[in-house]
A and B are shown apart, each in its own frame.
Chain A
Amino acid sequence: MIRLEVKNLKKIFHVHTQGGIEVTGFNDINFELKKGEFLSLFGPSGAGKSSVLKTLFRTYTTSGGSIIFNKDNGESIDISRVNESAILQLRKHDIGYVSQFLHILPRVSAVEVVSQELMFKGESQSTSILKAKEMLDYLSIREELFDLSPLTFSGGEQQRVNIAKGIIAPKSLLLLDEPTASLDKNNTMKVIQKLQEIKKEGVSMIGIFHDLEAMDLISDRVYKLSRVK
């Protein structure tokens, strides 16, 4: 089953505050992603890898082309065209995004941040908290930190909380922007292993890695982007 079809995708930024100059984010991106497949975006800095992910999540608008998301029930949705309410529904149920940085509410504890994802899916509170703690523990977050806000954690710890949040109740498509960027070797391997597990469960993923070894381990395919001219 094809989960995502990206055709002739293009992004141009019009910078009105700079006299209306146009900056090309990326051009003519084409790929298909199957259910349970992992595609890596690869290319030099400035090639538009993160911009592609943000466009797929509709954080960026599309300047041309289409992004067709196919649900399990046969429904197809063009992410670049549907209204905001439809995107909110997709983000709630179907598409997850793990960024390089942790975007969470301040004053919410690490366990809550992670367990909330399970509770959204209808899991009971006690089970959710138990599973969240297991996941945090697996990703080497010390137990004494569980009840503190991740915003007070180190960069690597924040990143791991972010991953835990992204993969504990995976949606059918997961967008990963440098999920292992600030992790050491040991933790990178743990993350890769978890990603492999959810891939087997049928989760489709698109990822960006700087760590080529990690990329080779998890990727089924690599899509190359070249520097925008």
Chain B
Amino acid sequence: MILDIKNLSKIFGKTCDMCLDETGAKPNSSICPKCKSIVGVNRVNLSLYKGEVLGIVGESGSGKSTLLQLIYQDVKASEGEIFIKHFKDKEGKTKNILDANLNELGDLRNSIMSMIYQNPRLGLNYQFSAGGNIAEKIICSGVKNYKMIRERALYFLDKTEIPNSRIDDYPEYFSGGQQQRIQISKALSSNPKILLLDEPTTGLDLSVQAKILDLIKELQHEIGFSMVVVSHDLGVIKHLTDITVVMKNGQIVERGLTDQVLEDPQHPYTQLLVSSIL
């Protein structure tokens, strides 16, 4: 098991004893009736094995992006545990990443996990060139040799079909689809064990979307990292993932093989979701 999430919750606002019990799929609400806090993620359990691709689907506000941010530590969880196989304490036991100190957190985000955001502005630094962005990530992951960094940056730009001659251009000089591909280069350049993708192709036109999905799929096959993909587009989920979980009001209401979730959905909400495909 590469990723193991236990009872993970995130409450926005002050917390009371009713928050987690009185919200979720059954009450059909994310707002605590007592203290009016918003429960983004409600006692989620999730596991992922090496090389597997997990999809998270659900309507807007179901907590799928929040869950991803909790894993990547963009947002601090309210309670729960997250274990990652490669993250260990001094005795060699896997350690809850919520207990990581700042140093360890940097390590986690620089060399164990990478995130690809829907908006490349969140994943790229616009003050640095395309190559500089990738170099930043490579340097943070521990490589200090200039020649190696430059070579690796060129390798990933090549993989993502960005012309090598443009390595020194700034992100704003690229189109949206190209910026997204630079973000992918950056995310992969540290050789992560887990790649997190938050709506990676939303807002891109169809041909660019197809190119990016093909690229991600190809690199996943080639390198073999595990992936968690958040998308509300069931086509993207079908294309990329092996296993799918369905979220509603912060809770996971269904988990299954992607083809099973799409062809034989069990939960009423999943059936509604699948029957809504155009």
Where the two chains meet, the residues of A that have a C-beta atom closer than 8 Å to any C-beta of B are 13-17, 54, 58-61, 84-85, 87-88, 105-107
Cross-chain contact of A61 among B242, B256, B272 (Cβ < 8 A)? B256
Given contacts A85-B49, A88-B52, A105-B239, contact A61 B260 (CB under 8 A): yes
Is there an interface contact between B214 and A107, defined as CB atoms closer than 8 Å?
Answer: yes
Is there an interface contact between A59 and B271, defined as CB atoms closer than 8 Å?
Answer: no
Extra 17 A-B pairs, beta carbons < 8 Å, given A16-B267, A61-B264 = A13-B264, A15-B271, A16-B271, A17-B268, A58-B260, A59-B257, A59-B259, A59-B263, A59-B264, A84-B242, A84-B256, A85-B52, A85-B243, A88-B52, A88-B243, A105-B214, A105-B217
Q: Which residues of A contact B259 (CB under 8 A)?
A: 59
Cross-chain contact of A84 among B257, B266, B272 (Cβ < 8 A)? B257
Is there an interface contact between B264 and A87, defined as CB atoms closer than 8 Å?
Answer: no
The A interface is mostly helix, strand or loop, or mixed, namely: mixed
| Chain B min CB distance to A55 (Å) | 9
Where the two chains meet, the residues of B that have a C-beta atom closer than 8 Å to any C-beta of A are 49, 52, 210, 214, 217, 239, 242-243, 255-257, 259-260, 263-264, 266-268, 271-272, 275
Cα-based distance from A106 to B242 in the complex (angstroms): 17
| Chain A min CB distance to B22 (Å) | 23
Cα-based distance from A88 to B257 in the complex (angstroms): 8
Cα-based distance from A159 to B5 in the complex (angstroms): 42
Q: Which residues of B contact A61 (CB under 8 A)?
A: 256, 260, 264, 266
Is there an interface contact between A84 and B243, defined as CB atoms closer than 8 Å?
Answer: yes
Q: Which residues of A contact B272 (CB under 8 A)?
A: 16-17
| Chain B min CB distance to A47 (Å) | 18
Cross-chain contact of A88 among B242, B266, B267 (Cβ < 8 A)? B242
Cα-based distance from A217 to B78 in the complex (angstroms): 64
Between A and B, 20 residue pairs with Cβ closer than 8 Å are: A13-B264, A14-B266, A16-B271, A16-B272, A17-B268, A17-B271, A54-B263, A54-B264, A58-B257, A58-B260, A59-B259, A59-B260, A61-B264, A85-B52, A85-B243, A87-B257, A88-B242, A105-B239, A107-B210, A107-B214
